Structure 1
Amino acid sequence: MFIGRKTEIGILENEYGREGSSLVIVYGRRRIGKTTLIKQFMQSKDSLYFLSTEEGGRQNLKYFQSLAFDKTALNLLRPENTLEWEDIFDLLTRGPDKTVIAIDEYPYLAMTEPGFSSRLQRIWDEMLKNRNVMLILCGSLIGMMYSETLDYSSPLYGRRTAQIKLAQIPFTDFAGFFPEKNDEELLSIYAVTGGVPRYIELFQPEKDLLENITDNILKKGSYLYEEPVFLLNRQFRETGTYFSILKTLAGGSQKSSEISGRLDMKQASLVYYMNGMIDMDLVEREVPVTERNPEKSKKGLYRIKDNFCQFWFRFVYPFMSYLEMENTAPVIEKIHKSFIDSHLSFIYERVCRELVKEMASEGFFGDKIVRIGRWWDSKEEIDIVGVNGDNKPVIFGECKYREGPVGIDILRELQRKALMVSKAAGGAFLLFSRKGFSKELLEHSRRNDNVFLFELFGKI
């Protein structure tokens, strides 16, 4: 089942339609759907998909040769013939039609055959760039993909014609996985799996949320039982340090000084580790959206960005001693008590912000909105603030995932806080509510065209 990825497919199709050669880099964390994306794109095209392994350079070469023989049936490519990479690429790309060659898990080639990127550079410069070929290099080891293909020091630097860093599937495409679920049910699943296709596919639509969590996460030996450990082990060497940072973030520490203090680590070292996890979309650094120089802002806060990791470190890891004894009851009790308040409500805010970004990009608010995010100071916080091209806040929003309708007092409070952000706080006021709005607030919104109400995600 292939869902979403319209932008990414569009990039690949544009590169395929390019006259002459193209070299595309596709990278992103494991299970994010890179291979599925590439295979979907390659359907009905003259193509070859090659998955490199950690076996060694010669074994990868022989496998590549066998795939090329299966594709072309050329006698020269028979397994008993000894060929080099240059020979195989030459034989694959002699035809007039565009050939797509995808090398998946490219870092394994770079690791098992030292200097392979330099060799591929020569093959590209002397042969492929002058032929009707589309070469796709793909990999999950983000650091190595960057150093081998995108970094200035890489032999392949400057050769790429496009690159795709594949992110998680957004909530706007999530319904495609569970067409029979309503928005509230979808949000609950999304809060656990995030937009990682492999995680999503594990959740069976006929089961409720807790059944799926139990089967796929809480049962010892289940697919996601230790997924964050595997994920960190695959990407980083000092796994324990990254693990400790995520554990500290899940515990509520957000300021770099507080995190480094708890871990007895220098802040400069913490930034290094954080940047690695930011590249993987596991962690994000937020500053108030009104900050003019976000990179230099001292107000930055770190948060776990990945929904599944946030859920796992909050509800699974603290109970590992119980789960190792196959006792899931304490976790289920914890989920019953605090899933909404300590997890789901925050995911709801994120999804609402993404919805507002989409509305802004479509011109819903008139003004050209250049940034949308959160705002806070030492005492107050606003869930959604949108800033226009003049750096003026013009959108203010609150998200309330709770039982019962939202009343006009929430709007008044939002308007009060908006004046703290901008002394002339005109603009649009948005309220998102799980359970609707009071009659007074509904009447007020009908009389004021700058007040917008959304029940869950639907505009009223």
Structure 2
Amino acid sequence: MRFYNRENELDLLQKIRERSAHSAQMTVVIGRRRIGKTSLLKKDMEGSPAIYLFVAKKSEALLCQEFVEAVKSILAVNLFGEITRFRDFFAWIMELSQSRNFTLVLDEFQEFKLINPAVFSEIQNLWDSQKAGSQLNLILCGSVYSMMKDIFENSREPLFSRATAKLYVKPFAVSVLKEILSEANPAYRNEDLLAFYSLTGGVAKYVENFVSAGALTLETMLEEVFSANSLFLEEGKNTLIEEFGRDYTTYFSILSLVANSKTSRPEIESILETSVGPFLEKLELDFGIIKKIRPILAKPTGRTVKYEIVDNFLCFWFRFVFKNYSAVEIGNFGFLKAQAREGFSTFSGKMLERYFVEQVKEAQRYSQIGTYWERGNSNEIDLVAVNSVEKRAVFGEVKVNAAKINLDALRQKSQRLAAQFPDYELEYRGLSLEDM
């Protein structure tokens, strides 16, 4: 699959690289696994002196041996003696950067926390003392969100405030997904686009896997997911267990409930029979895996709150894979596919709502975008978009089947919300598969 999009990210990385020729730069790149960070950085490295180093889970001495050979080969330099400590390797890098401008990428940088936590202090000391004359473009990349956030945003950590730039790599926008699918399958239907969006969420590796396998319809995607040796079956565990550590079973239980429409704290606590406040807070603030949803215009401190899993694929995984993990372990793929087919219409209905929210955000025509509901989940409105400058508001109802849209009912249940926009031009809009 060819390299798609990322023009804004590449533009930012180019500007940082150009600045590094005059003053050393430290850029932190964060994004969940499979999002395409490495591909982005390697694309940026093309045509410039750059060294890519992967921080594997091995001894510090072996890593340094590997790193030294890479630097010698790419920069055509010699080294007398042996380096077995990262502090000595980084001191060498800082020395080399006094006379030449180059990029150094350290991928999965957070792994030093397990290999040798002293590395962060050592980098800080060398950076602070030698960056003045350095031309190094240092890029520190990581996929364990909580660890990277702690390393660079915790005021007690040595690398706090040292970064000169931060880049969060996000999923492909819905317009890019449409472009990719239309090139892979020019005859695609909107049902295929909805399945493509629902199962990948725009995560580059999942997109690439489906395109490479020619799995471009719901049925072929389910075949790809629920098959022996599938990448997808263990993906939730592979992505999250390192993040969660020993408490992962509690976090997984909460995420499974949220994925299966138990989206309020009281609902979750009544089923688990325990307080989950600290877990929900960490899932939102430390891990970035869930987010709070409040009715549009609600006070930030309001108690009317729902939670949703941010990542589409993880939402699918917890709903259809983790929930039926016994069937995964015995290889009952027929049962798993049947469960996914049966529940997909409900699941994809919520995903279609997300799709249109993202589409409206991408258009950048509104100052506020969200959803709305009243106490007891009554009078739910799937999409509310407000332009406070032009004094316009759109109330939208989203249905997979356009025939089920009832604009009169939408106007009726929007009365209380509409009253909060007395001078606005109000538009009531139905959105379905046909509008994707």
- Return the TM-score normalized by structure 2: 0.88
**8 Å contact kept, 1:66–1:77:** no
Establish whether residue 70 from structure 1 lines up as the match of residue 49 from structure 2: no
TM superposition shift of 1:182: 4.2
- The CA deviation string for residues 130-182 of structure 1, in whole angstroms up to 9 with x for no partner, is 32221100111222211222322221222211101222222221134321234
1:141-156 matched pairs, under 5 angstroms: 141-156=144-159
| 1:377 equivalent in structure 2 | 374
TM superposition shift of 1:75: 2.3
1:173-252 matched pairs, under 5 angstroms: 173-178=176-181, 179=183, 180=185, 181-203=188-210, 204-205=213-214, 208-215=217-224, 217-237=225-245, 238-252=247-261
**8 Å contact kept, 1:69–1:77:** no
* Secondary structure class of the residue paired with 2:57: coil
Q: Which amino acid aligns with 2:65?
A: K
1:215-364 matched pairs, under 5 angstroms: 215=224, 217-237=225-245, 238-275=247-284, 279-280=287-288, 282-292=289-299, 294=300, 296-340=301-345, 342-359=346-363, 361=364, 363=365
Q: Single out whichever of 67-76 and 342-351 deviates more from structure 2.
A: 67-76
Aligned mates of 1:432, 1:127 — CA distance in 2 = 60
**8 Å contact kept, 1:322–1:330:** yes
**8 Å contact kept, 1:50–1:104:** yes
- Return the TM-score normalized by structure 1: 0.84
**8 Å contact kept, 1:27–1:142:** yes
RMSD: 2.6
Which sections of structure 2, spanning at least 5 residues, go unmatched?
none
| 1:456 equivalent in structure 2 | 435
Aligned mates of 1:406, 1:338 — CA distance in 2 = 19
- The CA deviation string for residues 52-73 of structure 1, in whole angstroms up to 9 with x for no partner, is 1221222222222111111122
**8 Å contact kept, 2:54–2:108:** yes
Q: Which amino acid aligns with 2:97?
A: T
After superposition, the Cα gap between the structure-2 partners of 1:56 and 1:206, relative to the gap in structure 1 and judged at 3 Å, is closer
**8 Å contact kept, 2:196–2:218:** yes
| 1:398 equivalent in structure 2 | 397
- The CA deviation string for residues 425-445 of structure 1, in whole angstroms up to 9 with x for no partner, is 74242534436xxxxxxxxxx
Aligned mates of 2:254, 2:391 — CA distance in 1 = 35
* Secondary structure class of the residue paired with 1:382: strand
Aligned mates of 1:235, 1:30 — CA distance in 2 = 11
After superposition, the Cα gap between the structure-2 partners of 1:337 and 1:113, relative to the gap in structure 1 and judged at 3 Å, is closer
* Secondary structure class of the residue paired with 1:84: helix
TM superposition shift of 1:302: 0.7
- The CA deviation string for residues 336-394 of structure 1, in whole angstroms up to 9 with x for no partner, is 33312x111111111111122223x2x4xxxxx32201011021111111234489872
TM superposition shift of 1:38: 0.8
**8 Å contact kept, 2:320–2:336:** yes
| 2:125 equivalent in structure 1 | 122
Q: Which amino acid aligns with 2:220?
A: E
**8 Å contact kept, 1:103–1:136:** yes
Establish whether residue 92 from structure 1 lines up as the match of residue 96 from structure 2: yes
Which sections of structure 1, spanning at least 5 residues, go unmatched?
364-368, 436-454
Q: Which has the higher contact order (CA 8 A, sep 6+)?
A: 2
Instruction: Figure out how many residues of one structure are paired with residues of the other and give that number.
Output: 421
**8 Å contact kept, 1:29–1:140:** yes
Aligned mates of 1:346, 1:304 — CA distance in 2 = 12
Q: Which amino acid aligns with 1:286?
A: I
**8 Å contact kept, 2:55–2:108:** yes
**8 Å contact kept, 2:407–2:430:** no
Q: Which amino acid aligns with 2:427?
A: F
Aligned mates of 1:64, 1:305 — CA distance in 2 = 36
TM superposition shift of 1:271: 2.9
* Secondary structure class of the residue paired with 2:138: strand
Percent identity of the aligned residues?
A: 26
